[in-house]
Amino acid sequence: MTDTTDRVRELNLYRQYFDLVAAGTKTIEVRVKYPHLADLAPGDTIRFRIKGTDETCDVKVLRVTGYADFEGLLDGEGPANVNPNATRDEQLASIRAIYPPEKEALGALAIEMQLSHP
């Protein structure tokens, strides 16, 4: 028997990225390949939350793709899908400010998503 229950993951997101997701203009979320995200799959729901607030935004996961590093992810997914308001180089610097080299060494995940209820 297959479990058809929708899985909901809660993940924190900085305000600037949260606003892009809520507007539907950010369609790719970047994360490190942490073990707790290993089973993230299409059909799952991510509830993004601004840490310390009650503000949330739900998205449906469409695809999860692994990359060796953040440069490969941005080149493979297109920087405009990750953050339409920043250049590739600006995004790479921002992502690396969040995730130091030892985290990037774990690999990167591109999570394609769409708003659950725009």
Length of the chain: 118
**What is the average pLDDT value for the chain, to the nearest integer?**
93
Confidence at 1, pLDDT banded by 50, 70, 90: very low
Structural domains present in the chain? 8-115 (2.30.130.30)
Region 55-80: mean pLDDT is 97
Residue 56, classed as helix, strand or coil, is: strand
Give the contacts of 71 (CB within 8 A, at least 6 positions apart): 92
The share of the chain scoring above pLDDT 90, in percent, equals 90
